[in-house]
Chain A
Amino acid sequence: MSTSEKSYDLVIIGGGPGGYVAAIRAAQLGMKVACVDKRGALGGTCLNIGCIPSKALLHSSELFAQAQHKLADNGVDVGDVRLDLAKMMARKDKVVSDLTKGVEFLFRKNKIDYVRGTGRILEPGAVAVELAGGGSEMVKASSVIIATGSQPMLLPGLEIDEERIVTSTGALAFNKVPKSMIVIGAGVIGLELGSVWSRLGAQVTVLEFLDHILPGLDREVTKQAQRVLKKQGLGFQLSSKVTAAKRTKSSVTVSYEPAGGGDAGSMKAEVVLVAIGRAPYTGGLGLDELGVRTDDRGFIQVDERFQTSIPGIYAIGDCVPGPMLAHKAEEDGVVCVEMLAGQSGHVDYNLVPCVVYTWPEIAGVGQTEEQLKAGGIEYRVGKFPFQANSRSRATGDTDGLVKILADARNDRVLGVHILGPMAGDLLQEAVLAMEFGATSEDIARTLHHHPGMGEAVKEAALAVDGRAVHV
């Protein structure tokens, strides 16, 4: 076994959105950087088995659904529509591999050393890497950033085989459309992948412990979202606690009981997707030996400079507390590295946008109406339905609404929640406005092009003051 040793200013363990962006930012700031990653392809969960492949499939499956149901309404007769799942999957795989190679290119461009292998922190400043190609390497650096991300949370009693009982990873790679599918967990991942297979022909039922879907988002918006998804064919079994799953050769039977107690029930499907959330992934890093403090859920505890309990070791992204979102991890990485370079931080963690890429999309930023009520904050609300938006009428995407919550005292926008076509992209203007402490009137008095979905945002802002024009 050969062992070599290299020295850097910074070594990052994990090449996902948090790690690779931190690496590039550090290189921009003049640091000598190495990034250790064991997957074999950069980009982490997001690029390989998360955001990107799911968005590719969401797009393809939506086209399929449109071809089946919507094109004819538009006077486009395409005859019988057939699904070529192998081709759809191949396209998804190409999107993924192109993007991960893109990250490798960015590493070369920024002169970042990409160390393929599994990193273990021996002491602050020293990372031992079991190289993927055999052998080992000692990577030394003044600072170490842990950016190892997260992995699907498992449910006791349900053994994942990634075939019949799957996590998101398996649900992104079925080689045939299951006839039926049970999705455990009505969160972002469950609803997105449930939508994909529902559109492709599976009978999908979503089982959720809580009495509502998409916890954490504004309830009025998620309630409407549930109605729309139900109309599209998704079944919902809420307030239900999964107790067991029994796998046979061709199906899985899931037993559940009402969350509040009562008679148990069961349902059978060809496949089961477990999407109850994600947990920090830090195994094998040597954290316990080092004494790096984690909380009871396994998240690494960090201070405002992202430093762990051990000086010189930092952690960012999904493995530290906070929303487990790629864009949040990226910002963590940038801020952490800029602070290492002596700058100050800039992220407002109250303004992390959250988007669910169903169709219509569901997007939110800032506080929900429930949070404002709980916080005793006086607010005013403005809502506008896409039903009354001319562009939505023209495209036929009339489900959903824009909801703006503004401080009753000074009109500052406190939260914006959208269910609608391209809701995520529409939300971005609200994120920017909120970064500048804008009032609802600022949005209302900003020109929005006509006809555009964005006019719904403007009208909702007008509605805060009770003067929406088109309702």
Chain B
Amino acid sequence: MAIDILVPNLGESVTEGTVSLWLKKPGDAVAADETLLELETDKATLEIPAPAAGVLTEVLVPEGEDVEIGALLGRLEAGTAAPTAGAAPKKPAAAEAPAEEPEAAPGAPAPAPEAPVSTLHAPVGLDPDSIPRSGAGGKVTVEDLQAFFEGASQEAVERSGPAVRKFIADHGLDAALLPASGRDGRITKEDVLGFLAGAAEAAPAAAPSAPARAPGVPAGDRREERVKMSRLRRTVAKRLKEAQNTAAILTTFNEADMSEVIALRKRYRELFEQKHGVRLGFMSFFVKAVVGALQEMPEVNASLDDDHIVYHHYYDIGMAVSTDLGLKVPVVRDCEKKSFAQIEKDIAELAGKARDGSLSLEEMEGGTFSISNGGIFGSMLSTPILNPPQSAILGLHNIQERAVVIDGVIQVRPMMYLAVSYDHRLIDGRESVTFLVRIKELIEKPDRLMLDV
């Protein structure tokens, strides 16, 4: 049976993506759920799995091309799956093997763990054959796909048993948002309980049935609105709360006189831009100062994994970027090896991607330390939250002229408060304070960065 490989629902407010990489080529045997291709959307890179075991017969959209939800990506001949990936493309004779091949003959080896899963019908909700096709020439429309996914979640509810059905009704849950870890896409009681626990954690103030107006609040044009959190917002909420629940977060403060960095920038700005094609900002100074301080305080660049400390001998710095879609933290890799210019270029590129939503998941994963700059919005002082599993984060703030006393004389200097939040489980006050003092020193005397002193 030929099965169409379609672009699935890509999540809220995402209607199209780009085929970034075909991992299989025509003739390749694939197992059910094995990744066929990668699709990039403006949120993340999605892996498109095989809807059933079989042989990939057609690739209809080449890499680099844009596709919309429901578009036909390729086709798969189901049921003729060779036992191992990479086996020869279907041989005419073998291809006629019965469709229910996993049927164990007497004395045959025990079926693979996947065997109990229905082979007659692909798991409900994933069988693209059952998508209605109301478009011209039998094409799948966006409406078809929406109806298909709604129907699929309804079906998942029906198949999830009375206890789960009651939970969903009791709490007025949207089944489409629930994870479904049970067999054939069933929602388990654990899924619902986990979801409810997560919801309570992410939004402690919003009781499940709290649309009622607070007592004593007059009606009229004082209106409220209940809007579902976007997936990204929910993820951010969950991760931040996880960090707070897990780490012993403490913040230490200091301040830096920015005079010399400002002078240096002024002096070389034009030359730098001419040569490297990128503006010389403050961030490259801070990244370089952070790397220098991290090299002296390896704990700050480490993370905890159960009862082990993992020291990272590379310096991948996450940069918190505020976008219309929410907070994103792309990572600049190997900062210890990169020049100021390269770091500025990387930051510019990643920030651009973050704002137009084209960051991949990979570009946001695996940082060893983060920098958050609340200064661009005018923050004077803040206590940033860790980006787990990282152990520390540097908070930058606005630069303001303040009166400071230097050698017994009051002077006006461009000052910035600095904050480092750190996980006290791993990092003690001595390391964190020394770490921040070192950053202060390197920023106040940037020539030390060059000389490594």
A11-19, A117-125, A342-350 - the one binding chain B: A342-350
B158 partner, pick from A437, A439, A465, beta carbons under 8 A: A437
CB-CB under 8 A from B169, the residues of chain A are 344-346
Is the C-beta of A410 less than 8 angstroms from some C-beta in chain B? yes
Residues in B whose Cβ lies below 8 Å from that of A345: 166, 169
A436 touches B186 (CB 8 A): yes
| Contact yes or no, A439 B162, CB < 8 A | no
Which A176-206 residues sit within 8 Å CB-CB of chain B? none
A373 beta carbon closer than 8 Å to chain B: no
| C-alpha spacing A210/B22, complex, angstroms | 66
Q: A439 and B121 in contact (CB under 8 A), knowing A344-B170, A346-B165?
A: yes
B-contact bits for A364-394, CB 8 A (1 contact / 0 none)? 0000000000000000000000000000000
Please give the distance in Å from A443's CB to the nearest CB on chain B.
Answer: 11
> 1/0 per position for A36-49, CB-CB distance to B under 8 A?
00000000000000
Contact A436 B170, CB 8 Å, known A410-B124, A411-B120: no
A residues near B134, Cβ cutoff 8 Å: none
The 8 Å CB contact of A436, one of B116, B155, B160, is: B160
Asked if B254 CB lies within 8 Å of chain A CBs, one says no
Interface size on B, residues (CB 8 A): 20
CA distance A348 to B166 in the complex (A): 11
Give the interface SS of chain B, mostly helix, strand, loop or mixed.
loop
* In the assembled complex, A442 has its CB within 8 A of some CB on chain B: yes
Closest chain-B Cβ to A335's Cβ sits at a distance in Å of: 10
In the assembled complex, A441 has its CB within 8 A of some CB on chain B = yes
Once A343-B166, A343-B170, A344-B166 are accepted as A-B contacts, the answer to whether A436 and B120 lie under 8 Å apart by CB is no
Residues A411 and B162 in contact, CB atoms below 8 Å apart: no
Per-position binary interface string of chain B over residues 389-413, scored 1 when its CB falls under 8 Å from any chain A CB and 0 otherwise: 0000000000000000000000000
Which of A343, A348, A437 touches B159 (beta carbons < 8 Å)? A437
8 Å CB contact of A439 from B115, B118, B161, B163:
B118
Contact of B166 among A346, A437, A439, A445 (CB under 8 A): A346
Q: Which B residues, 201 to 242, have Cβ-Cβ distances below 8 Å to chain A?
A: none
A339 to chain B, nearest CB (A): 11
Which B residues between 93 and 131 are near A, CB-CB below 8 angstroms?
103, 115-116, 118-121, 124
Known contacts A436-B161, A436-B186, A437-B155: A465-B120 contact under CB 8 Å: yes
Tell me the dominant secondary structure on chain A's binding face.
Answer: loop
Which of chain A's residues has its CB closest to B116's CB? A445
* Distance to closest chain B CB from A463 (angstroms): 14
Distance of A346 Cα from B169 Cα, bound (Å): 9
Chain A residues bordering chain B, tally (CB within 8 A): 17
Residue numbers in A under 8 Å from B159 (CB-CB): 436-438
Give the docked Cα–Cα distance between A410 and B151 (Å). Answer: 14
**Is A442 within 8 A of B155, CB to CB?**
no
A73 at the interface (CB under 8 A from B): no
- Residues of the A chain whose Cβ atoms lie less than 8 Å from the Cβ of B158: 437
CA distance A189 to B209 in the complex (A): 48
Closest to A442 in B: B118
Give CA–CA (A130, B65) in the complex, Å. 83
**A441 contact set on B, CB distance < 8 A:** 118-120
Contacts of A346 in B (CB 8 A): 162-163, 165-166, 169
Nearest residue (CB) in B for A346 is B166
Residues of B within 8 A of A437 (CB): 155, 158-160
A425 within 8 A of B: no
Q: Does A220 sit at the interface, judged by CB under 8 A?
A: no
Bound: A441/B160 CA distance, A: 17
Q: How far is the CA of A467 from the CA of B99 in the complex (A)?
A: 14
Say if the beta carbon of A435 comes within 8 Å of chain B: yes
Find chain A residues with CB under 8 A from B116 CB.
445
- Minimal Cβ-Cβ distance residue in A for B111: A445
Q: Which residues of A contact B162 (CB under 8 A)?
A: 346, 348, 435
Interface string of A410-442 (1 = CB under 8 A from B): 110000000000000000000000011111011
Distance in angstroms between the alpha carbons of A438 and B158 in the assembled complex: 10
Contact B161 A435 (CB under 8 A): yes
In the complex, chain B residues whose CB is within 8 Å of the CB of A343: 166, 170
Q: What is the CB-to-nearest-CB distance from B171 to chain A, in angstroms, rounded to a whole number? A: 9
Residue numbers in A under 8 Å from B166 (CB-CB): 343-346
Q: Considering the chains assembled together, what is the distance between the CA atoms of A162 and B186 in angstroms?
A: 54
Q: Which residues of B contact A442 (CB under 8 A)?
A: 118
Given A346-B162, A346-B165, A348-B162: A439 and B170 interface contact (C-beta under 8 Å): no
Q: Mark B176-191, 1 if CB is under 8 A from A, else 0.
A: 0000000000100000
Bound complex: CA A437 to CA B182 (Å):
13
Residues in chain A near residue B103, CB distance under 8 A: 467
Chain A residues closer than 8 Å to B170, beta-carbon distance: 343-344
Contact bitstring A427-471, B, C-beta under 8 A = 1, else 0: 000000001111101100100000000000000000001010000
Instruction: Identify B118's interface contact among A411, A435, A436, A467, CB under 8 A.
Output: A411
Q: What are the residues of chain B within 8 A of A435 when measuring CB–CB? A: 161-162
Taking Cβ atoms with an 8 Å cutoff, the residues of B that contact A are: 103, 115-116, 118-121, 124, 155, 158-163, 165-166, 169-170, 186
13 A-B pairs within 8 Å (CB atoms) are namely A343-B170, A344-B169, A344-B170, A410-B124, A411-B118, A435-B162, A436-B159, A436-B160, A439-B118, A439-B120, A439-B121, A441-B119, A441-B120
Q: What 8 A-B pairs have minimum CB-CB distances, sorted nearest first?
A: A437-B159, A344-B169, A346-B166, A436-B161, A445-B116, A437-B158, A344-B170, A346-B162
